[in-house]
């Protein structure tokens, strides 16, 4: 089959939104399909949103592909008679983040008109799709609430789960993800100042906000945590992720209202490591069940510190929840056979 994978991207910015596309391309080619990836440059600047949607809408791919699969919005507005949407999130400023501190669009007649136009375009594009999938129940719930469309949850796997292995349980809790304010690494640093055990924290990842990383370093120094908090502000390869998780005590992933369980959670589970997260982490809690596959706490440094200490004091608990996390992957059918079968149905 000739398959086009269509998504949007910020040039030179890597992340999970690219992994889901690039890894699917590899798995489809392994199965004998002809695959082309098309990334459309996209910016969230309000004055450019509608022109970009209009431009994407005019792209016709019928003569090139038997099927197109779209991912990051607004790629889903492209036209094709066999368009499959694997929706990873809305343009959230017009949806669940509307009229919140995280929305840069004013709730005035101009902003409301822009919002209405975006939602209208989304409704048209989603209704015409051959099939609609999402990467989490959180996104499916938003789609039903805001667009009146039912969708099927299709969890994205990682490319090479065999890379991740389980060694002895050390003293270090590991966070591997972009360092951004909404990922809340500052909460983790603040929690470390309240721990009572010699637990350690390692923060790994790139950033689009160097000032935020500077703030993390300064806070760790101010709290006299420089010897217990390690900050690796750079791109972390898949092999390096596996190395850091192999002897970790646990993983921690505490974003605010994330769209899915997040690759950090899944990577940790493949290494038989549980994940510490928060009650407001969104899709992360579709995978992390408190005291079963991890610990779910209030988004408060003291609560997070207690979770860190609990794991350090009870390695048996960390082991049991880590093994249960690995089992959960199979229960949710988070594998490439399932993904390819559903997307090509």
- How crowded is residue 148: how many other Cβ atoms within 10 Å of its Cβ? 10
Quick: pLDDT tens for 275-334.
Answer: 999 999 999 999 999 999 999 999 999 999 999 999 999 999 999 999 999 999 999 999
Give the burial string for 171-204 (b: 16+ CB within 10 Å, else e): ebbbbbbbbbeebbbebbbbbbbbbeeebbbbbb
Distance CA 189, CA 222 (A): 11
pLDDT above 90 as % of the chain = 90
Q: List pLDDT tens digits, range 71-85.
A: 999 999 999 999 999
**In this structure, CATH architecture of domain 2-154:** 3-Layer(aba) Sandwich (3.40)
Query: Do 2-154 and 161-331 have matching folds?
Result: yes
The three-state (H, E, C) secondary structure of 110-162, written as one string: HHHHHHHHHHHHHHHHHHCCCEEEECCHHHHHHHHHHHCCCCEECCCCCCCHH
> How would residue 101 be classed by pLDDT, with cut points 50, 70 and 90?
confident
Taking the domain 161-331, which CATH number applies?
Answer: 3.40.50.2000
| Predicted local distance difference test score (pLDDT) of residue 18 | 87
Q: What is the pLDDT of residue 241?
A: 97
Give the global pTM. Answer: 0.89
Per-domain boundaries in the chain? 2-154, 161-331
Ranges assigned E (strand) in 227-330: 229-232, 250-252, 275-278, 294-297
Burial 33-64 (b: 16+ CB within 10 A, else e): bebeebbbebeeeeeebeebbeebeeeebeee
- 332-343 confidence digits (pLDDT tens): 999 999 999 999
């Amino acid at each position: 089959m000739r398959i086009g994978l269509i998504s949007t991207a910020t040039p030179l910015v890597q992340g999970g939104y690219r992994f889901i596309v690039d890894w699917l391309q590899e798995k489809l080619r392994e199965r004998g399909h002809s695959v082309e990836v098309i990334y459309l440059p996209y910016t969230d600047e309000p004055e450019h949103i509608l022109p970009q949607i209009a431009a994407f809408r005019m792209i016709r791919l019928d003569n090139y592909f038997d099927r197109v699969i779209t991912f990051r919005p607004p790629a889903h507005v492209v036209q094709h008679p066999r368009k499959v949407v694997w929706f990873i999130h809305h343009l959230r400023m017009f949806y669940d983040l509307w009229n919140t501190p995280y929305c840069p669009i004013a709730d005035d007649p101009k902003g409301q008109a822009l919002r209405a136009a975006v939602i209208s375009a989304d409704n048209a594009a989603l209704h015409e799709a051959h099939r609609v999938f999402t990467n989490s129940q959180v996104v499916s719930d938003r789609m039903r609430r805001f667009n009146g469309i039912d969708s099927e949850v299709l969890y994205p796997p990682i490319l090479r789960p065999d890379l991740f292995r389980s060694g002895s349980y050390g003293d270090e809790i590991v966070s591997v993800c972009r360092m951004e304010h909404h990922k809340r690494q500052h909460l983790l640093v603040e929690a470390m100042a309240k721990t009572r055990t010699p637990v350690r924290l390692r923060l790994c990842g790139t950033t689009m906000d160097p000032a935020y990383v500077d703030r993390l370093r300064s806070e760790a120094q101010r709290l006299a945590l420089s010897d217990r908090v390690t900050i690796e502000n750079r791109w972390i390869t898949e092999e390096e992720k596996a190395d850091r998780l192999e002897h970790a005590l646990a993983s921690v992933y505490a974003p605010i209202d994330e769209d899915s369980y997040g690759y950090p959670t899944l990577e940790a589970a493949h290494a038989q490591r549980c994940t510490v997260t928060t009650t407001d982490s969104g899709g992360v809690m579709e995978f992390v069940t408190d005291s079963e596959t991890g610990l779910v706490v209030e988004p408060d440094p003291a609560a997070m510190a207690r979770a860190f200490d609990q794991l350090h004091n009870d390695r048996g608990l960390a082991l049991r929840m880590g093994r249960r996390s690995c089992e959960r992957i199979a229960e949710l059918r988070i594998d490439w056979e399932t993904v390819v079968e559903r997307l090509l149905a």
